[in-house]
Amino acid sequence: MSVYLALNLENGVVDSIQIHSPTWGTIIFLLAMFALLHRFARVSIVALLPWFIAAACVLLLSMVVILRLQRRQITQFTDTCMKLDAPELLTATSGMATGSTEAKTWLQQMCTIHQNISSERMMLRCLQVGLFFICYCVARLLVDVSGWKTNFETTLLLVAGAIVLFLLLAYSLPRTVPDFLAVTALPPYVDPVNLEFLFKQLLDDHMDTHGKLENRDGDSRMSNYGMVSELAEIMGVRSQLDHRLFSRDGGSGQVVMI
């Protein structure tokens, strides 16, 4: 589990640092819209700076809310597991894995979209776009020679406010984004990207190859498979794991017999 969370965190941080093609496309499209807005409505992009700041703040607040909700849900799940007996725990985790409506809370049912798309990646890329335009507008203020000459006090005040904003971002981003990426690697935010990391760790690190599997006794194979399947139950992806295992075994049914 620790390796799985570390891989998701590393992938998310790299994705937030590197600017991908969809992000560049969004920036180019918005710049074209702002150019038309400036051409026909005489609206400067610097005048839109409060909207960029508001958008970035909304995204950061959304991350904080999701972070706190996920932490509370993880704590409740852990406390419940500590109180339940083994049979009851197996029933509870099986209910989570099957995805039945009765076993899910209203929040989990509302968040099913997060299991189909990488919503945390989309939020980070939207934050990238917002931060790009904030930096662009502040850079324009800094090199605006005419503004410094005609409105020195106003320009100085705006630049001072921008410095305070950057200090707040430098403080909050490293403390919010990594924790946000970690908690969104857990249910109900397990998307196809997370599944690839999870199955890679489960199948490559914990499951035996065919040669090793034949040389081990039944108790060892059962313990190995039980450890992997238990984690998959908690993550709510037991059916997908069994499908991967069956496909990996060539459809011979060996995994089912284990």
Task: Please tell me the predicted confidence (pLDDT) of residue 100.
Answer: 43
> Which portions of the chain are predicted below pLDDT 70?
84-117, 201-225, 227-228, 234, 245-258
Q: Are 34 and 52 in contact (CB under 8 A)?
A: no
251 sits in the region (left: phi over 0; alpha: psi -120 to 50; else beta) called left
Task: Please tell me the predicted confidence (pLDDT) of residue 50.
Answer: 92
Token output for 155 = 């320009």
Task: Please tell me the predicted confidence (pLDDT) of residue 237.
Answer: 73
pLDDT, tens digit (0-9, with 9 covering 90-100), for 126-173: 999 999 999 999 999 899 888 899 989 999 999 999 999 999 999 999
Nearest to 176, CA basis, from 127, 216, 242, 233: 127
d(CA 129, CA 123): 10
Residue with tokens 């599944």: 195
**pTM greater than 0.85 (yes/no):** no
Q: Residue 58: helix, strand or coil by DSSP?
A: helix
Task: Please tell me the predicted confidence (pLDDT) of residue 223.
Answer: 55
DSSP E strand stretches across 91-244: none
Task: Please tell me the predicted confidence (pLDDT) of residue 212.
Answer: 44
> What residue segments make up the domains of the chain, in order of their start?
2-191, 207-258
Side-chain-side CA neighbours of 213 within 13 Å: the count stands at 16
Q: Are 16 and 180 in contact (CB under 8 A)?
A: no
Token output for 15 = 């994705």
d(CA 143, CA 215): 71
Task: Please tell me the predicted confidence (pLDDT) of residue 224.
Answer: 61
∠ CA(145), CA(150), CA(155), 5° rounding?
Answer: 70
